[in-house]
Structures are given as C-alpha cells and as structure tokens.
C-alpha cells in the first residue's frame, strides 16, 4: 500500500490516535505513543536544548571552566602584586571557587536527576545567581560567568524561561554598563547600552529559531513514530488475515479429503466387523472371507491415499525457502543473499549433514534468519560466518560475526536480540542456544539440537506397499 499523506486527526475516546491516509479515507486506529519515550520517564520540564542536551552540557561546563581558570589566574596575579607576602589567593575567593566547581559538577553528573524534578530545577538554576553575586563581589572577573548563565538557561529551562533569563541578563548588563558610564555623553551611553540590547535581541532571535526547529523536529518524530506503528499494525493484521485464510484453507482441505477418506475407512471396517460377527455366531457364508478381504483392501488403499495427502499438506506448510531445496542449500542461499544486500563478507560451510524432519529444518532456518537480522541491525560487522555441522549426536548451527558485540549476561540484551523466543523453540526438542559475546569483540551464537529428536525417519516399508 502506498501512503502519500498522513494527517493527525487527534485522539479518540478510547485513547487511540487516528491517522488519515490519502489512499484510504478510513481512519486507522493506532496506539498513541509519547514522542519522547515513556511518559513516566519524561522530564517535567523540557529544556530548549533537549535534543542535544549532553553536547550542550559539555559546552557549558567547558566554557565555565575556562572562565574560572582565567578568573583564578587574574586573582592570583592581583593578590601577588598587592600583597607579595600574603597567600596567593584570597580565602573568600577560594571559598567561592570551590562552590562554583561543586555547583557545575552537580549539574554535569546529576543532570538527568535534576531534570526529572521540577523543584530541583527551580532550586538549582537560581542558586547559580546567588553564588555568582558572591563571586563577583570577591573578584570582578567571576562576573564573566554570567555569560554561562544564558547557556545554562538553554540547557535547564524551557523556551519561555530561557527567554526570561536572557532578558534578565541583558537588563543586568545594560544597567551595569549604564551605571559605570553615567558620566559619558548621552550618545556614547546609548551606543554602548544599545549594543548590549541588540546582542540580547540577536541571541533571542536565535533562541526562537531553535525553539521552532525543536517543535518541528518533535512533530516529525511523533508522526514518523505513528506511521511506523500504523505500518506495523497493518503488517500484523495482514499476517493474521493470511494465517486465518490458511487455516480456513487447511480446514476445507481436511474436510474434503481426509475426513471423507476416514469416513470411508470406518465404513469398510464396520462392514468387516458385521461379517466377522455373523461368522462368529455360526452363520456360514462362503462369500464372507472374500468380502472381508475386499473391505480390508479398500480400507488399506484409502488409508495410503490419506497418508499421502497428509504428507502433501505438511509439505505445503514448509517455508518457501525450504520448498525447493534441502536445508543446507537454503541456508547457503540465504547467507549469500544477506551478504550481498548488506555489503558484508559472508562464509557458509557444512559437512555431511543428515536430513532433518520439518520442525528441525524450520528451527535452523529461523535461527539463521534471526541471527543475520540481529547482525544487520546491531553488530556493524564486516564478516559473518555460518556453519552447519554435527558433533556427538548433535546438529549444530553456528553464526559468528566480528561486530561490536554486547553483554551476553544482560537479560534485556538477550530479549533485544530475540534470544528468548529462539531458546523457547529449541527447548521443545531438548536443544540449547549458546551465545558468547563481549563488547567490542563480536558475537558467536550456536543452536544445538539432538539428532535423536530432529533427524528425519525413514518411512515404514508398509507405507508404500501397493
């Protein structure tokens, strides 16, 4: 289905969000999801630089450390020039410097914790101004940290609050500049104050552009997420519809063939029972034995035909990859095509591998497809090797890659890579899924099934007798 336009039509009464598709005038219900993840984990305050918060947090810390370094050097030089015999730094300056370093350390390492609590933001941000006033009184050079207050507002505060912070800083700078230059001419005073105000307006314009871009990005992210949910929902419905249609087809086939065949077998066996029952009561009939043999031959013939039909139905249920090729050939073709599609070097090897029954073939096929899918999505590998072999009564499938790997002991990682479902399928036949992986060294996954449980068994001699 081609979707050329998506239009949000708002949440419905049952909590679902509708998307109207241009190729279908019906409203498709899609579960509504928060654009920024779990709503319970979202920050009560979404700052202006929320999308790149960690980057801007590092920029803020770096600029403040540079200013602190410059202020410390200036304070040391000033102290040395005024009182050579005294301590290199004033005690009050050292105290303020320690508070500033601790303040910025808390902001950097506890940023996520602070942003999850509105009260923490309302305490943390104004606290900087208190420390800054104490610092500026101890050393005027620390007043440059007020420039960092603007960036801090972008990182910790939403748009309206950040603009308010910018206006306060601009007004403070303009007022201070006017107070220091009150003896200058009016033209000079207006020029300097106007420059400060113009700088504030320019920064505010940039802020507004960033705010607008963030809103557009959030909207696109939400719509793309809803489109992805809609496509998954359509795929699930199509798969369910296909499964239902297949079940109905199998039901019709069984009714039209196997059910009628078994009814015929039952009628012949009942006729045999009646004939033998009459003979056991002493009723002699020279045609009884030929009649019994005829009924048994017909029952045998119908049973063989029904067995052939069952095998035909089971064969039709095989995955399309196994419909025209044995397991080893199908896996080799899958691995080769996957390598070509993902531009990754692949190797597939197998030794003399016995034929497996339907379930064994499907388990190895799905395990290979799932493993290769995980490599493509998560591993960033340059080489993948797939091996099909037998060792000590076990049928083994091994998939190895040289990608980034992951913590194999992490239960969430196992669920992420689909190992739980794979283990469940394998466990039904007494098998195991073994995985070895560490971060940065690649991953090796092995599926082991006992041959006694999955090896194909030769049909009985009587099954093909005429």
Stretch 106-131: mean pLDDT, rounded? 86
pLDDT of residue 32: 36
Report angle CA 454, 455, 457 to the nearest 5 degrees: 120
Q: Which sign, positive or negative, has the C-alpha torsion 175, 179, 182, 185?
A: negative
Beta carbons within 10 angstroms of residue 114's beta carbon: 19
Give CA–CA dist 240/437, Å, rounded.
35
Tell me: pLDDT of 261 over 80.
no
Q: Which sign, positive or negative, has the C-alpha torsion 6, 8, 11, 12?
A: negative
User: Mean pLDDT of all residues in the chain?
Assistant: 76
Tell me: pLDDT of 335 over 50.
yes
Give CA–CA dist 402/385, Å, rounded.
9
- Sorting pLDDT into bands at 50, 70 and 90, what band is 232? confident
Instruction: Take residue 178 and report the two structure tokens written for it.
Output: 């006017």
Closest Cα partner for 329 from 304, 308, 355?
A: 355
Stretch 429-451: mean pLDDT, rounded? 89
**Angle between helical axes of 145-156 and 118-138 (0-180°, round to 10):** 180
Give the lowest-confidence range in 134-148, 320-334, 343-357: 134-148
Give the lowest-confidence range in 244-253, 316-325, 332-341, 437-446: 316-325
**Angle between helical axes of 186-253 and 145-156 (0-180°, round to 10):** 30
Give CA–CA dist 464/139, Å, rounded.
102
Tell me: pLDDT of 44 over 70.
no
Task: Give the alpha-carbon dihedral of 86, 89, 91, 96, to 10 degrees.
Answer: 170
Q: Report pTM.
A: 0.40
Stretch 335-361: mean pLDDT, rounded? 87
Exposed, middle or buried: residue 192 (CB in 10 Å: 0-12, 13-18, 19+)?
middle
Beta carbons within 10 angstroms of residue 277's beta carbon: 10
Report angle CA 159, 161, 166 to the nearest 5 degrees: 95
pLDDT of residue 301: 83
Contacts of 314 (CB under 8 A, 6+ apart): 358
Report angle CA 355, 356, 359 to the nearest 5 degrees: 160
pLDDT of residue 388: 93
Question: 429 with 449: CB under 8 angstroms?
Answer: yes
Give CA–CA dist 323/342, Å, rounded.
25
Q: How do beta strands 432-437 and 443-450 pair? A: antiparallel
Give the lowest-confidence range in 224-233, 272-281, 392-401: 272-281
Stretch 145-169: mean pLDDT, rounded? 77
Tell me: pLDDT of 132 over 90.
no
pLDDT of residue 397: 93
- Sorting pLDDT into bands at 50, 70 and 90, what band is 186? confident
Of residues 200 and 453, more confidently modeled: 453
pLDDT of residue 194: 85
CA distance to 80, 226, 382, per residue, from 17 (Å): 69, 9, 41
Each residue of 66-103: pLDDT tens digit? Answer: 888 888 887 777 777 766 555 566 777 888 888 888 99
Counting every residue written for the chain, the total comes to 466
- Sorting pLDDT into bands at 50, 70 and 90, what band is 40? very low
For residue 303, the Cα-to-chain-centroid distance in whole angstroms is 51
Contacts of 51 (CB under 8 A, 6+ apart): 214, 217
Tell me: pLDDT of 291 over 70.
yes
Each residue of 266-289: pLDDT tens digit? Answer: 888 888 888 777 766 665 666 677
- Sorting pLDDT into bands at 50, 70 and 90, what band is 370? confident
Question: 4 with 23: CB under 8 angstroms?
Answer: yes
pLDDT of residue 409: 62
Closest Cα partner for 100 from 58, 121, 129?
A: 129
pLDDT of residue 400: 93
């Amino acid at each position: 289905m081609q979707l050329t336009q998506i239009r949000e039509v708002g949440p419905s009464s049952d909590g679902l969000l509708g998307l109207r598709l241009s190729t279908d005038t019906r409203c498709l219900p899609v579960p509504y999801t928060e654009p920024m993840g779990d709503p319970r984990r979202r920050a009560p305050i979404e700052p202006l630089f929320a999308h790149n918060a960690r980057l801007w947090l590092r920029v803020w810390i770096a600029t403040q450390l540079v200013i602190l370094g410059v202020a410390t050097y200036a304070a040391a030089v000033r102290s040395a020039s005024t009182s050579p015999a005294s301590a290199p730094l004033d005690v009050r300056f050292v105290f303020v410097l320690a508070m500033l370093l601790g303040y910025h350390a808390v902001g950097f390492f506890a940023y996520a914790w602070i942003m999850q609590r509105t009260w923490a933001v309302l305490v943390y941000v104004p606290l900087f101004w208190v420390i800054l006033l104490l610092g500026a009184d101890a050393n005027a050079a620390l007043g440059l940290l007020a420039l960092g207050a603007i960036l801090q507002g972008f990182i910790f505060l939403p748009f309206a609050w950040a603009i308010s912070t910018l206006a306060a800083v601009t007004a403070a700078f303009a007022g201070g500049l006017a107070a220091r230059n009150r003896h200058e001419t009016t033209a000079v005073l207006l020029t300097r104050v106007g420059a400060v105000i113009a700088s504030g307006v320019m920064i505010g314009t940039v802020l507004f552009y960033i705010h607008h871009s963030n809103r557009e990005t959030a909207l696109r992210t939400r719509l793309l997420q809803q489109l992805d949910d809609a496509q998954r929902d359509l795929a699930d419905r199509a798969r369910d519809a296909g499964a239902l249609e297949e079940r109905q087809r199998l039901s019709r086939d069984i009714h039209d063939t196997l059910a009628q065949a078994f009814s015929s077998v039952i009628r012949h066996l009942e006729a045999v029972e009646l004939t033998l029952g009459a003979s056991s009561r002493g009723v002699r009939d020279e045609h009884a034995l030929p009649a019994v043999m005829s009924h048994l031959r017909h029952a045998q013939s119908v049973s063989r035909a029904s067995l052939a039909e069952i095998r035909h139905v089971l064969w039709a249920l095989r995955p399309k990859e196994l419909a025209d090729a044995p397991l080893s050939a199908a896996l080799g073709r899958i691995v080769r095509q996957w390598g070509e599609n993902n531009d990754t070097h692949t190797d597939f090897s197998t030794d003399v591998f016995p034929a497996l029954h339907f379930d064994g073939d499907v388990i190895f096929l799905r395990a290979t497809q799932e493993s290769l899918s995980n490599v493509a999505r998560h591993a960033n590998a340059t080489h993948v090797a797939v091996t099909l072999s037998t060792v000590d009564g076990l049928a083994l499938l091994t998939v190895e890659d040289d990608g980034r790997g992951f913590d194999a002991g992490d239960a969430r990682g196992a669920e992420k890579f689909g190992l739980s479902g794979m283990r469940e399928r394998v466990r039904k036949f007494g098998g195991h899924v073994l995985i070895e992986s560490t971060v940065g060294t690649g991953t090796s996954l092995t599926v082991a099934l006992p041959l006694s449980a999955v090896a194909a068994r030769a049909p009985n001699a009587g099954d093909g007798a005429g």
